[in-house]
Amino acid sequence: MSSTALEQPQEVRRVSVAAPAVDKATVQEAAKAVENEQNMGILESLKLYRSACFWSVFLSTCIVMEGFDTTLINNLYAYGPFKEKFGDRQPDGTYELTAQWQSGLSNGALSGQILGLFLNGIIADRFGYRKTLVGALTFCALFIFIIFFAESLPQLLVGEILVGFPWGVFQTLAPTYAAEVCPTHLRAYLTTYVNMCWVLGQFIASGVLRAMLLRDDKWGYKIPFALQWMWPVPLAIGIWLAPESPWWLVRRGRLEEAKRSLIRLTARNAGSDFKPDETISMMVHTNEFEKEQTAGIKYTDLFKGVNLRRTEIVCVTWMTQALCGSSFMGYSTYFYQQAGMSEENSFNMSLVQYALGFIGTLTSWFLMTHIGRRKLYLGGQLAMCVFLFTIGCVSLVGRENVPAQWAIGSLLLVYALTYNCTVGPVCYSLVSELTSTRLRTKSVVLARNCYNICGIITNIITPAMLNPTEWNWGAKSGYFFAGTCFCCAVWTFFRLPEPKGRSYAELDILFDQRVPARKFATTQVDRLDTSIDDSTPDIDFSEKEKTLGDNKTAANQVENITQ
């Protein structure tokens, strides 16, 4: 489907906004920083910010660990020794976990994530991203003991709930850190890399379980549990050495530290006009502008003024990930078995699915550059509607029909490739970019929790749909998710804006002027208004750094200097 078929050309508009109450020098430096950032190409940005890219990729590796853990428990429902240990004997002599326990174990981790996410929104704003992540990794290593030594379903459930707390931290801070340390032209790549980390974790978990098929004892599932310990220690050491987010330091009024952190994140002699002072001024300017829009940084401020619209957008954008049928992929091995495939072929198909997910994320980088986030998100949902509906239609042939089994499996693979080219990775870019910088952590927390709540619902109904002891819909479940996916596509068309190529200051202006979602891409923005009264004295940046302390905001401190 062509882009013109999705949207009609929009009339070009121009919007501007008055500069916030900061000194003339800061605004002029901020304007230069925005202009320089916009004029840099991808290669130039990569050369200058290669250290930032490295640290962003390293922090995102926490998501590889989480993808491994979450896929492990869902795929164990299809693993013989695990079913014999924790499942119930069926009339035909096989063992099966009930749909209620399948939902309970999967939702246990999600419930823990919800609580962990809300706490993270407070802790990360207070202590910074590095310390919060290191603390989460420490608790994660401790809670894995409960999962490894669990001998009953209630014990395993407790372990899943507790390990969900640190998982919630990883989900928030990995894309947030990527969005804050990278320039405009690299944001999409580094935030969507989070999805690749998910896929890598899922692929590793599926590969481990495929290798365990040769075992018929308890170590077939205990060894994968034990492998979860290989992540926390090296990750914690590396993250402790990483530079803190300059944006977080600016929000705390610690401009001198923010400058040092920015210098660590960038390369010297990169052949560009980059000046750390100007970039820090741009951060100060954006922060002050958002403070004028809404002064607070509490959860309640997400629902005030223009932030209400931004909150709706990021929440529904992330909910779309859960409502577009992606739970089929989480339960893919079990799904393939219920479609009639053997245990061995089911695990093989899951490995192919996650390999395609890796390829899909790489493809999304190319597509986002040429198509944009909004059109890619919408087009992906419409394509997935067709695949899900077709899966439902093919299932009418009957689960005993071998060609139908492979047709359903192939369609699910195409669905997985489409998802990982569009909705899967693009979601992380949209959620990270469309929030305000002052409320970014809390916005991402709330959006992810909306996703988790939808995930709890789908984790309740999906096992019931697939389980032969419950609804026994099998692949007919495709009809249901085709409907929910289409509803998400309708919302996307009317409400989701295009952030491609926009600085955070420009996005603030577009939201402040209430530009309609379908006109974001074509509206011209007067980026920064530098027409400040000449009576405002220029202030040397080094002098301003010395004056700024931990307990005062940038605006008040600049005012003290001018007086």
Confidence of residue 148 (pLDDT cuts 50, 70, 90): very high
* pLDDT on residue 549: 41
Q: The pTM is what?
A: 0.76
Domain that holds residue 191: 40-242+294-496
> Is 289 within a domain?
no
> Is 218 within a domain?
yes
Mean pLDDT of 344-363: 87
Q: What crossing angle do the helices spanning 184-211 and 153-181 adopt, rounded to 10°?
A: 150
**CATH at 336:** 1.20.1250.20
Structural domain total, the chain = 1
> Is 237 within a domain?
yes
Confidence of residue 524 (pLDDT cuts 50, 70, 90): confident
* pLDDT on residue 1: 43
Confidence of residue 27 (pLDDT cuts 50, 70, 90): confident
> Is 412 within a domain?
yes
Confidence of residue 294 (pLDDT cuts 50, 70, 90): low
Are 423 and 384 in contact, with CB atoms under 8 Å apart? yes
For 9, 162, 343, 518, 523, the CA distances from 12, given in Å and listed in that order, are: 9, 51, 56, 11, 5
How many CB atoms lie under 10 A from the CB of residue 34?
22
Confidence of residue 20 (pLDDT cuts 50, 70, 90): low
Q: Is the pLDDT of residue 561 over 80?
A: no
* pLDDT on residue 535: 38
**What b/e string do you get for 119-149 counting C-beta neighbours within 10 Å, with b at 16 or more?**
ebbebbbeebbbebbbbbbebbbebbebbbe
pLDDT digits over 194-211, tens only?
888 988 988 898 888 888
**Partner residues linked to 372 by β-bridges:** none
Burial of 20 (0-12, 13-18, 19+ CB in 10 A): buried
Q: Is the pLDDT of residue 119 over 80?
A: yes
> Is 148 within a domain?
yes
One DSSP character per residue, 110-162 reads HHHHHHHHHHHHHHHHHH-HHHHHHHHHHHHHHHHHHHHH--SHHHHHHHHHH
pLDDT digits over 260-290, tens only?
999 999 987 765 677 888 888 888 888 887 7
Are 213 and 69 in contact, with CB atoms under 8 Å apart? no
* pLDDT on residue 271: 59
> Is 552 within a domain?
no
One DSSP character per residue, 207-222 reads HHHHHGGG--STHHHH
> Is 308 within a domain?
yes
Mean pLDDT of 351-367: 89
> Is 520 within a domain?
no
Dist CA 92 CA 281 (whole Å): 70
Strands (DSSP E) found in 323-372: none
Dist CA 506 CA 132 (whole Å): 30
Are 285 and 30 in contact, with CB atoms under 8 Å apart? yes
**Could you tell me which residues come within 8 angstroms of residue 470 by beta carbon, excluding any fewer than 6 positions away?**
99, 463, 464
- More confident site: 489 or 189: 489
